[in-house]
Structure formats: C-alpha cells, structure tokens
Structure 1
C-alpha cells in the first residue's frame, strides 16, 4: 500500500519534471481557494512547495464565497479549490470547471460540550439524538455556539443534519419537508439555544477558547484542536457528542480548476500535490492534526493524545452520515434558515460620518448599507433579514447622531431606512467609543435580549477621540456578551478597533480595499 502510494507520487513528479524540461518554466505560484479549516495544514503544503520549487498560496474564504467564486464566469484567480464539503462545488461549479476532485480527509460535524455538563446531561457513553439535545435546550440546560449555516460549512452541515433528524430521518429531504409546521417549531427552538455565532469554523474555535462557554458545534478536528489548547491551559476539555440521527461529514475535496487553457504543467503539479496529500505518509500526518483518513471515518491504530477517547472521540464506531439532498433542496433550506429558522439578529450599526468620510468614503459606506438593506442584493449573499431581526443604525462623528430602528424584513421599511442613511452628510470629528457605548446602552435596555444574537458593527475611517476606558467600564457594568465587530477604513487606527474586539470577543475586518465586502462579512457573524 505504502509502496503503491510512493510510486504514484514519483510518477507524477516525473511527469511534472519532464514538462518543465520541455521548454516551459515551472509555475512559480499555485493558488488554492480554501476553507479556513485548512489553515493549520499549511506546513504540510509548504513542505511540498519547497520540494517542487513552487509557492502554495492559500486564499481562505467562507463556504458561500467559495460557491460564489466557482460560479463566476471568466478566468478565476485560482488553480485549485479545497472546500470543506463537496456540496459547495456542486452548488457553485455551474460551468463544470472543477476536475480530478478527491476527498483528502474527513471530519464529522459534532457537538463539543464541556465534559462536566455532558455528564450532567447524561450524554457520556450514550447514543445521543438531536431531540435529546433539543430537550436540553428547552429545559434551559444547554446553550451552544455555531457558525452561520449560510456562511460556513460546519453550520450548514449541522443544520442539514438537524433537519433530517427532526423530520424523522426520511430517505431523502424534499422541498415539501421544509414547510412542515412541526419542523419549523422544532428547528426554531433548537436554534434558540445558540449563544454566539460566527462566519468561520476556525474563528468559532478561537472564540470558544476566549470565553466561558458551554458548547459549540464544529468539526471533530476543531474540537480536538480546542481540547489540546484547553488541556495545555489546565482547563476542562470538551466532550464530543455525535448525534446518531444527524451526522454529516466534511469530506474536504481538493479539485483542479480547469481554466480551459490546456496548462498541462499546472495540471501535473496539481496531481502531484493531490497524490502527495493522499500518500500514506501525509495521511498519517493529517491524522495527527485530528483529521480522519480511514474509509468511512473508521481508523486503525491512532494517537490517543489526539483522538482521545476521554474526550468522547470514537474512531472505531462506524458513523452513518445522512444522504445529502439535491442542490435545489439545499438552496431552499439555506434560504429558509436565513429568513425563517435561525435565531433573530439584533444588530447596531455605528457608522462614521465624520468630516474625513467626505467623497469616496461616504459613497462606499452607503453602498455597503445598500447591500445589507436592499433584500434583493442581500439574498445573493444569503445575508438577508428575517421577519424578527432588529436593526439599529447610529450615525456618529464626535458624538452619536439621531439614529433609526426597524424590526423585520419589510422591504419598504428597510428602503426607508436606507434613504435616511443616503441623505446623511459627513462632518465633524470622530469618537467611536461614545457611539459604541450608546449602542450598548440601547441593547441593554431591551427586553428579551436573550432571544437575539446581538452584535455591534462599528465602521470608522479615522483615529478616534474619546475614551476606551469609558466604553470598557460600560461593557463590564452591563455584563453582556455583545461583540463589537470593527470595520477598518481609511486612516482608522487598527489598534483602537482591535482593543474593542479583544475586550468584547469580536473581530476586526479590513475594509480599506473593499468596504462593501467587509460589511458583508461582518454581518455574516450574527
């Protein structure tokens, strides 16, 4: 087996060498469009690159962005694609440019629950079903973190698994199933248990490590990585719970993007890379990163410091993943998640309309808000509003200005809000802290705040006046887990926004090159 894998790699390397020797210089760069869950594997790719005198460049995007990139016409700026799941290639590759796709590794999507809580819930050593988890949420015994199903594969996979389980595990999920009133109630109550959300599986894991959280839905490999860090810090690890009636695998396919240029050299390089990743030696290395490499997820002898049975990791049991529905049903399910099923968002937009925003800055800011509030545009990115979302807009300069609020997704109300934003004129100084404090105050005064996924999205283009300490005191006094997602633009201080993000367990998005896309990504986190 090992000899066969070695010979396959050698033969492809020979083909690559011959193509270089026939008058063509070897490619200097090889760009892979990838999900963020592969970031920890970069050392493996760099080793291949050094051996073949090529720079492997990983461009990380969320699953929806990968799908959208693949659907674009014209030449793509990528040589290969490596999403978390084949479904994103199926949904996006309308022009059938992806070829030679093979699964490199697999990782089931699981619940990681603090071990003491898993014990209290009776989940340790037992077969757990999705309805067992739903019962714990209904009894206010469990809250969890999960990525957005419309922005990240781990969230989408978990969501599809939940649908199957709550519908009684049908042979195949249909459009009619999605409109079941019982399903609507069950899935909404399950998602009511979400405490924090994210647009990235890797960032969700990092977020978990920064706060006092009980559980998260993520790849098994991310649970393993989190546990390794928790144990290193002397903290309680997570226990992996595999819902037996709703398991979905991430199959991590690596495919070549055929640009129609008949580039045999680059294609040979891809095949050499793919063979390298599938070789026994590298597959063994991948297992040390917590990735399953056996057929059907069943592995032989493993490193128990990685696949630790004390963490609930079970590599001996055959996991039966659910069958994925058609592309049409997946698209409909994702739309219904965004507009009907998910826990509602409470979003405060703090928008910098100081004097330095005159001209292009204000124009881009208004364009970004149009993308979010115009539901025809928003649905292209699966960030459209639900009927229960609550949106607050606070323009500011050296102090907060009169703002506006709207509830729901009525297109006329959202259009009216957009018109008010477009009528704003920049002027004055900049104080991000007072604006963010004002937004925090409005949230703290709301009844039933726990029925929302709250966030402040703060955009600024200049160095702020005001006091970080004042905001920090207010945030700590309220004791609410409300993140600030900062959007960097113009001459804004990255340090000031990073301070806010670090305090509130938020994140900073760089909008200096594309402000509109930075807003879109930030909105995908709540």
Structure 2
C-alpha cells in the first residue's frame, strides 16, 4: 500500500474507526521511517566530493558530469596554481576531499605532505617537451628524426637562438619541472639528485632563452599566439610545456606556424596526474571515482578531450593517432630532497633568472579610506617585503637585484620612491641553501615602512600615472636592457582626474615600441571599472587581476608569477 493512499480511507463506525486509527498510525510511522531513511540516503549520496585541482586541468572539468553519470557521486573541482594548491594541502587549510595535480613529487617531498595524502593513483600521462616553431627548428637543424639533447637546447637558448615561453618555476609545475629536467640531464645520473648535481652555469645558460613569463598555460598560450614570429630580439619561437598543451595549440588553428615537438633524447619529466585522497572518510567514493577514471571509457575520453596519454598500453593503441609517432619516452630522475627543490627555486628567483624592474602605481585617493582597502593594500605591500613567511609568501617576495619604484597618485601623480634589493652572493655548487642577507632585510624594512606611511586623500589620476610610469620604465630600459620590466597598477575607483582612457590611448600610441612592449598589470578592487581596465590591457599587454573577491595579498602573489 502506498503511503499517499492512507488518507483515501473513510470510516463511519467508532470501533472500526479506533482499530483503523491504530492501523493507519502504524502505517504512517513505518512510512515516515522509510521516507526519513530514503532522505538520509539521498542526502548522503548528494554530499559533494570536492577536488582541489591545478589550473592546467580545467580542460577536464567536464568530468564532473561524467563521474556523476557513471557513479552517482557529485564531483566538484576548485582550480588553483601549483604552489598555492600545494600550500593549502600542506597547511591542512584545504577543505577538499582530494587533490589532483600534474604530479605530486614536490608535495610528497615534504613529510607533512606525505601525512596529508592517504592514497594516490596515477590517472594519465603527459611528458614535458619543447615546442619549437617549425621554421626556427629547421634553422637550428632540429629536423624530424634528429636526436636533440638538453645540452643542444641549452646552447641554443644561451646563444639567443631559442627564445621560449614557460610558466614561472617558482609558482607553476611546468617551469619547475623544466628546470629540474635540465639539472637531471646535465648530471648524467639515473637516480635521485642532490645539491651537488646542480650545474649552475648550465642553468644560467638555459634561462637566457626565457622570454615570456606567466603563471599558467592558458595565459602563456594566449600570449604565445600573439607574439609568435614577431620581429626583433625579443620575439618568441618556442614554448616549453606539457605535450598535451602543445598538441592542442597545433590543433587549434591560431598559430602563425605549427610547433615541432622536441623530446630530448636523455629523457623528459612526465606528469602522471595523481588523484590524491585527503579525507579518509571519503575513501569509498574516492575508490569509485578512481575505478571510473581508469576505465577504458574514461581513459579514451581523457585522451581525446585533453590529449593526455592513457596509462594502459592497450588503450593507448586505440588512440595512438593523437600523439607523435616513434617517441621513446625516457623518464629523468627527480630529487626527493625538499631542501634541494626549495633552494633551487630560491636560486632561480634571486640569481639565475632575469632580474625584475617594475613600477608599482598605487592609488592613494580618498576612496581608499573606505572599509579595509588601505589596510589591505599596506598588508599586501608588506607581505612582498618579507612579512609573509608562508611557502607562497617566500616565493613571491622581492628578489635579489630587483629594482622597484613606488609611485603614488590621487588627484596628481607624485614622484616615485626608489628601492633596490642588493645582489645575492653567488651560489656555490653543492651548497644551495641560503638566508636573506642583512642588506636585503634592510631594504625589506624600508619598503614596509613606506607602505605603513601611505596616506589616502584626493581624486584618481590613474591614466596620468600610467603614462608617467611607462615613460619612467622606458628610460630605465634604455639604460639597463638586461632587466624584465613591468608596471603594476592598483586602483579602487574610476579615473576622475587628468587624462581619460581615450586620451591615454592616443598618447600611448605615440610612444616608442620599446615602451609599448612593457606589460601593464592592473589590480581591480573597490569601484574600479572592470570593462575599462580590460580595454586598457588589450593595448598595453599584461593582465587584469580581480581583488574584489580574492584577498589583495593573494593577488599580489599572483602578479609576482607574471613578472
């Protein structure tokens, strides 16, 4: 009998009514228990299985629907940068049930990371390779079938013949694995690396070809498409990334010419995309998700959709037409030494990479007094000057040799205040670990004091400030071309003093090409006009960062990955 049918009965005699009442009460109680049990069961199955994933996995986001259809489990991805996501897992602040990274080598090199990860399963594969514009590859003699070594790649980069885009090694997996790949190949070892294996001159030579910096593959792909084949010494002719991204670029129809994928013959570093269980209480759902992801159906879908290789050789045979033929993939050794990894990143930032020169254009208008805007800005500036000792904080602070101009504006633009971080002592092979020198800490203190003394008042002469900042950078660039130049602007409102956007665009068009090559990074918060700032960076290059929903200090860290 259906529970909904109980109310259809009618009784006229009292005795029968009493008996029937007991009968109905029993049925209703039973039905209530059944409905409660069903509701509880549905509620349990509807609990979202949250996965913290690195941003390069956005191309697999459709798995949310596919996993639900196959298993009934509600899967939800949250995407973030490699170091940002790693820090969340290590600190225990992540509320995710699982994490999905390109690889777990860095995370699991830390005892804390090992304790956070309960289980892990590899899902798919993609080797880190070098995509070179076909005409440039021909000029370098890298014809199809020719063996190219990491040394050959490094020599070409050092000579200025290989000019590549790559994600920032301090914040993203691809760049970090590329640098580790150079270390591993130059060591000639087949086992785990140590600090003694880091060949400093070779890393420096390799990084001489590093021309386009960014935090993620989506941004870099867009910029690479824009800049590929441009004239001049700063033109880009190569892209170091995982195979799947480079294959997607070749298939996308937007490149000026296709990329020839180079697999250095000593070996490559391969992403194996482990899905890692963090929440032990979700083990059963995790295992169901793993079973589906490793099924033939899912592996073929992943290969066709994301161009990553299936784990199974048998499944790979079904989709091998998607991938380059006759590529023997040899895996390079990777260090499990966390100290080596961290200090290699520190050495990259403070010694190996092209030094940074930037103007921070800071809105100090009266509207900055509202809420916590001024306090947030001051904190963010202090964080990049050594006040944040977190993992991401350490890798996003001001670096050795860095030049920084702090230029404030309200109704008028004020003269810039200059800071220079001293050069670090040269790294000694086998002794990578360092601490900030007292001279460097003194500059950090000066920057923190500057931030503390900011005062907010007046209007917003944003475009006057930008114009002056760009000209300031151009003058410096002419004198010191060895630096990487940028302008970072922070504003919480619409420009209401000085130049308008249209006037700025006219004046900007008259600037020399060397000035227009300097990217502008805009930070949007408060009442700033998003559409106007997006229009601005279309002509200046760079990127808009939205700090309305993300803490300003976090946005600062993101910006550092693009400088």
Task: Give me the TM-score of the superposition, normalised by structure 1.
Answer: 0.86
Match of 1:422 among 449, 452, 465: 452
Match of 2:513 in 1: 479
Match of 1:15 in 2: none
Match of 2:6 in 1: none
Match of 2:366 among 355, 368, 371: 355
Matched, 1:27 2:56: no
Q: CA deviation at 1:136?
A: 1.7
Matched, 1:293 2:305: no
User: CA contact under 8 A between 1:296 and 1:318: conserved in structure 2?
Assistant: no
Match of 1:370 in 2: 382
1:375-386, aligned counterparts within 5 Å? Answer: 377=389, 380-386=393-399
Q: Kindly tell me: are residues 365 and 24 of structure 1, through their superposed partners in 2, closer, same or farther at Cα, counting changes over 3 Å? A: closer
Q: Kindly tell me: are residues 165 and 303 of structure 1, through their superposed partners in 2, closer, same or farther at Cα, counting changes over 3 Å? A: closer
Matched, 1:192 2:229: no
User: CA contact under 8 A between 2:64 and 2:74: conserved in structure 1?
Assistant: no
Match of 2:500 among 467, 481, 484: 467
Matched, 1:173 2:193: yes
User: CA contact under 8 A between 1:298 and 1:317: conserved in structure 2?
Assistant: no
Please, which moves more after superposition, 44-53 or 320-329?
A: 44-53
User: CA contact under 8 A between 2:358 and 2:473: conserved in structure 1?
Assistant: no
Unmatched runs of 5 consecutive residues or more in structure 1: 1-17, 308-312
Equivalent position SS for 2:62: helix
Match of 2:277 in 1: 256
Q: Kindly tell me: are residues 32 and 73 of structure 1, through their superposed partners in 2, closer, same or farther at Cα, counting changes over 3 Å? A: closer
Please, which moves more after superposition, 86-95 or 219-228?
A: 86-95
Match of 1:154 in 2: 174
Match of 1:222 in 2: 245
Please, which moves more after superposition, 202-211 or 35-44?
A: 202-211
Size of the aligned set, in residue pairs, is: 490
Distance in 2 (CA, whole Å) between partners of 1:298 and 1:471 is: 56
Distance in 2 (CA, whole Å) between partners of 1:392 and 1:244 is: 45
Q: Kindly tell me: are residues 197 and 378 of structure 1, through their superposed partners in 2, closer, same or farther at Cα, counting changes over 3 Å? A: farther
Task: Give me the TM-score of the superposition, normalised by structure 2.
Answer: 0.81
> RMSD across aligned C-alpha pairs, in angstroms?
2.6
Please, which moves more after superposition, 451-460 or 371-380?
A: 371-380
Matched, 1:237 2:258: yes
Distance in 2 (CA, whole Å) between partners of 1:56 and 1:455 is: 40
Distance in 1 (CA, whole Å) between partners of 2:221 and 2:271 is: 16
Equivalent position SS for 2:487: strand
Q: CA deviation at 1:244?
A: 2.4
User: CA contact under 8 A between 1:457 and 1:484: conserved in structure 2?
Assistant: yes
Unmatched runs of 5 consecutive residues or more in structure 2: 1-36, 229-235, 423-439
Q: Between Structure 1 and Structure 2, whose CA radius of gyration is higher?
A: 2
Equivalent position SS for 1:157: helix
Please, which moves more after superposition, 449-458 or 113-122?
A: 449-458
Distance in 1 (CA, whole Å) between partners of 2:314 and 2:189 is: 21
Equivalent position SS for 1:383: coil
Distance in 1 (CA, whole Å) between partners of 2:449 and 2:97 is: 42
Q: Deviations over 1:264-290 (max 9, x none)?
A: xx3322222221111111111111121
Equivalent position SS for 1:496: helix
Q: Deviations over 1:46-101 (max 9, x none)?
A: 22224555543211111111211111146x31111001111133046436132231
Q: Deviations over 1:300-342 (max 9, x none)?
A: 25364x42xxxxx34x332111111122322222222222222
Q: CA deviation at 1:403?
A: 1.4
Distance in 1 (CA, whole Å) between partners of 2:333 and 2:148 is: 19
User: CA contact under 8 A between 1:433 and 1:468: conserved in structure 2?
Assistant: yes
Q: Deviations over 1:185-235 (max 9, x none)?
A: 332232122112011123222321233332111111111111122xx2473
Distance in 1 (CA, whole Å) between partners of 2:357 and 2:333 is: 34
Match of 1:321 among 328, 331, 348: 331
